[in-house]
């Protein structure tokens, strides 16, 4: 089979203006970026649009090195629905530049279930992440400039929480001392850089519902604390207007299409641990305005991604899913059941059976905690044996869970027809959607609720430091925000080595901080890397471009 980029480059997509016209987007609302990408004016959402379609969430088991194919399944499912005559529209996250040059490669689906133009989407796309980085770094420059120019607000340089960012895997910038040089050059202090997707500006953009909302959220961002330990906000520095000017185009969702011509809004991409891991509220609402079925995905496994989609994104976005697809692969289930990575191509029914509880717990969460109809999509790999596939189906059936094979990677929409039919049936069913905890729940109780109900922990322990931070959070009026729990994506627990469906464990909260612009409390259960590094042989070394502009070596 050809590589992803070869498949994508062989495609001859319809001009994006045609895709938009098919969808009913008025010509004056379309802002073209080349022939195959466009932004769409948010006017229709300002007027209350965006709640028409059925909404499908695609989530997955805990990620493993074996790969699950959540994005691929999302795209293929929409293509399959389109083959069945349904006006399906996809909403996805934008990839970050960093991983493209590192180890992960692109993030625009795979095989015959991709969004195109995959090279552009994986590189600068329409410049959204650059705009987010610029807004983040303008605020940082204004913070340090304020101190340099007399520090009227009394910002404590040791308590600045706002970090700079760059959309690159660059571990050299994780921890720096800046402001060196002398009196003319600033104030020496400890500082550091995150990758752009970890910036609160990314989360803010993705949760905003209008330019005005965006500006208000930006103004609320806490950049640090005064010598009197009072929060200092971006609004105190009068930074929100200029930041918003940098972000006004980035706020508009990007329209592209799948290889089969299904419309896709690809927009925003916050981290799924320290942030909420979903594409923008704007993109989901745009898909819900123009489609009959909108299909979106959330980062990492359902314990992190789906939980945040339901408890943060839906709560703030004012929408709710009608059905959930939980993606699994035989390989990943076997890995969860203890089979070593090198052996995943070999049949191992024992390991598979051992791994099944991971899948079943996620499915149970979606049905029992969130009250949503649910189907399992098994993303088929060539090495899967019939016996293995039968085992997955049988184990699910015992729990009353339907399973559908997905072969969209190899066959495009044609490989997802059965899955599509089942999802179309599910979205027509009634559901009892509810959050894992009600709005306004105190942070500590909200964390307990997610840990006990979703992770199935026996309880939550807060370190003394976390308790102090929690008290300060409450004192500053942030004590009842929704919680964004940063936890390893590999396990239901806070220990990445505990695969499967562990029981009898507790979660330890080590740090609590506020993202007041995004509007959630970030609860950290361990050290979360917000600036990746490059591997020994970065993918960048193999990327090339010829005189006609054709890119090679991008995966």
Nearest distance in Å: CB 247, a copy of itself: 9
- Whether 381 is a known active-site residue: answer yes
Residues numbered 201-240 forming contacts with a copy of itself, rule: CB under 8 A = 210-212, 215, 237-239
| Identified binder of a copy of itself from the candidate list 1, 65, 175, 341, rule CB under 8 A | 175
φ, ψ for residue 417 (rounded to 5)? Answer: -65, -45
- 359's tokens: 């899948």
Instruction: Pick one of 23, 168, 325, 376: the residue that binds a copy of itself (CB under 8 A).
Output: 168
Pick from 51, 83, 104, 174: which binds a copy of itself (CB under 8 A)? 174
Q: How many residues make contact with a copy of itself (CB under 8 A)?
A: 80
Can you state the angle between helices 200-207 and 128-148, rounded to 10 degrees? 130
Interface with a copy of itself includes 267 (CB under 8 A)? Answer: no
Binding of residue 32 to a copy of itself (CB under 8 A) = yes
64 is in an annotated binding site: yes
Min separation Cβ 532 and a copy of itself, Å: 10
- Say whether the peptide bond before residue 117 is cis (omega within 30 degrees of 0): yes
* Vertex 363: Cα angle to 358 and 367 (nearest 5): 150
Contact 113, 72 (CB under 8 A): yes
Give the DSSP per-residue string, 121-175: HHTTTTSHHHHHHHHHHHHHHHHHHHHHTT-TT-EEEEEE---EEESS--GGGSS
Which of 78, 272, 420, 516 is catalytic? The answer is 272
Q: For residue 107, give the nearest of 82, 74, 131, 60 by alpha carbon.
A: 74
Task: For a copy of itself, give the closer residue by CB, 5 or 443.
Answer: 5
Q: Which is nearer to a copy of itself, 117 or 299 (CB)?
A: 117
| Residue placing its CB nearer to a copy of itself in the complex, 75 or 250 | 250
In order, the DSSP letters of 405-455 are EE-HHHHGGGGGHHHHHHHHHHHTS------SS-TT--HHHHHHHHIIIII
User: In this chain, which stretch among 69-77, 138-146, 399-407, 514-522 interacts with a copy of itself, using CB under 8 A?
Assistant: 138-146
Which of 82, 164, 285, 404 is in the footprint of a copy of itself by CB under 8 A? 164
Q: Does 471 bind a copy of itself (CB under 8 A)?
A: no
Q: Which of 22, 153, 156, 170 binds a copy of itself (CB under 8 A)?
A: 170
100 contacts 539 by C-beta, under 8 angstroms? yes
Among 265, 271, 319, 409, the one annotated catalytic: 409
* DSSP 3-state of 58: strand
DSSP output for 461-492: EE-HHHHHHHHHHHHTT-TTS-EEEE--SS-S
**Does 496 sit near a copy of itself (CB under 8 A)?**
no
Find the angle CA(507)-CA(510)-CA(515) to the nearest 5 degrees: 110
Q: Which of 491, 545, 518 is nearest to 222 (CA)?
A: 518
Q: Is 171 in the site for a copy of itself (CB under 8 A)?
A: yes
Q: Catalytic annotation on 93? A: yes
Catalytic-residue membership of 129: no
Q: Strand 374-379 and strand 323-328: pairing?
A: parallel
72 is catalytic: yes
129 vs 225 by CB, closer to a copy of itself: 129
User: Which of 101, 381, 505, 520 is an active site residue?
Assistant: 381
> Please, how many CA atoms are within 13 Å of residue 130, restricted to the half-sphere of its CB?
7
The answer to whether 542 contacts a copy of itself (rule: CB under 8 A) is yes
Smallest distance, a copy of itself to C-beta of residue 163, A: 12
Query: Of 355-363, 413-421, 448-456, 542-550, which segment contacts a copy of itself by CB under 8 A?
Result: 542-550
Active site residues: 70, 72, 93, 104, 272, 300, 381, 409
Residue ranges at the known binding site: 64-71
Residue ranges at the known binding site for ATP: 64-71
């Amino acid at each position: 089979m050809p590589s992803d980029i070869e498949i994508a480059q062989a495609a001859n997509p319809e001009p994006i203006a045609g895709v938009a016209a098919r969808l009913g987007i008025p010509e004056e609302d379309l802002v073209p970026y080349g022939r195959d990408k466009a932004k769409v004016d948010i006017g229709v959402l300002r007027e209350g649009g965006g709640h028409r379609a059925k909404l499908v969430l695609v989530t997955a088991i805990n990620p493993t090195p074996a790969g699950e194919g959540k994005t691929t399944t999302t795209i293929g499912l929409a293509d399959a629905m389109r083959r069945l005559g349904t006006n399906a529209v996809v909403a996805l996250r934008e990839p970050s530049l960093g991983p493209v040059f590192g180890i992960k490669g692109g993030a625009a689906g795979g095989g015959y279930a991709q969004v195109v133009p995959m090279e552009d989407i994986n590189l600068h796309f329409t410049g959204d992440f650059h705009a987010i980085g610029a807004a983040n770094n303008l605020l940082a420059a204004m913070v340090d400039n304020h101190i340099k120019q007399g520090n009227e607000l009394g910002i404590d340089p040791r308590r600045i929480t706002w970090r700079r960012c760059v959309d690159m895997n660059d571990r050299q910038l994780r921890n720096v001392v800046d402001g060196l040089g002398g009196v003319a050059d600033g104030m020496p202090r400890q500082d550091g850089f995150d990758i752009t997707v970890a910036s609160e500006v990314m989360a803010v953009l993705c949760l905003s519902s209008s330019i005005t909302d965006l500006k208000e959220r930006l103004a609320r961002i806490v950049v640090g604390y005064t010598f009197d330990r009072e929060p200092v906000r971006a609004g105190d520095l009068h930074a929100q207007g200029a930041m918003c000017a940098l972000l006004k185009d980035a706020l508009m969702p990007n329209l592209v299409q799948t290889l089969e011509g299904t419309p896709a809004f690809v927009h925003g991409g916050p981290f799924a641990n320290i942030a909420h891991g979903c594409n923008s509220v704007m993109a989901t609402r745009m898909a819900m305005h123009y489609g009959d079925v909108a299909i979106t995905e959330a980062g990492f496994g359902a314990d992190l991604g789906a939980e945040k989609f339901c408890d943060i994104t839906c709560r703030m976005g004012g929408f709710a899913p009608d059905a959930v697809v939980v993606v699994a692969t035989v390989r990943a289930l076997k890995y969860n059941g203890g089979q070593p990575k090198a052996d995943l191509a070999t049949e191992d029914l024992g390991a598979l059976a051992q791994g099944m509880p991971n899948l079943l717990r996620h499915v149970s969460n979606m049905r029992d905690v969130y009250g949503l109809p649910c189907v399992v999509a098994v993303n088929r790999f060539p090495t899967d044996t019939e016996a293995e596939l039968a085992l997955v189906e049988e184990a699910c059936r015992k729990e009353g869970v339907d399973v559908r094979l997905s072969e969209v990677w190899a066959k495009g929409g044609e490989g997802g027809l059965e899955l599509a039919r089942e999802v179309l049936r599910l979205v027509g069913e009634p559901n009892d959607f509810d959050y894992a905890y009600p709005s306004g729940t105190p942070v500590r109780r909200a964390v307990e609720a997610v840990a006990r109900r979703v992770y199935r922990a026996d309880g939550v322990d807060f370190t003394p430091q976390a308790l102090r931070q929690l008290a300060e959070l409450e004192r500053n009026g942030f004590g009842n925000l929704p919680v964004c729990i940063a936890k390893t994506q590999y396990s239901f627990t806070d220990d990445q080595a505990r695969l499967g469906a562990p029981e009898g464990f507790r979660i330890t909260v080590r740090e609590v901080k506020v993202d007041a612009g995004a509007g959630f409390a970030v609860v950290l259960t361990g050290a979360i890397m917000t600036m990746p590094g490059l591997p020994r042989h970065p993918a960048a070394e193999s990327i090339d471009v010829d005189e006609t502009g054709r890119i090679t070596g991008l995966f």
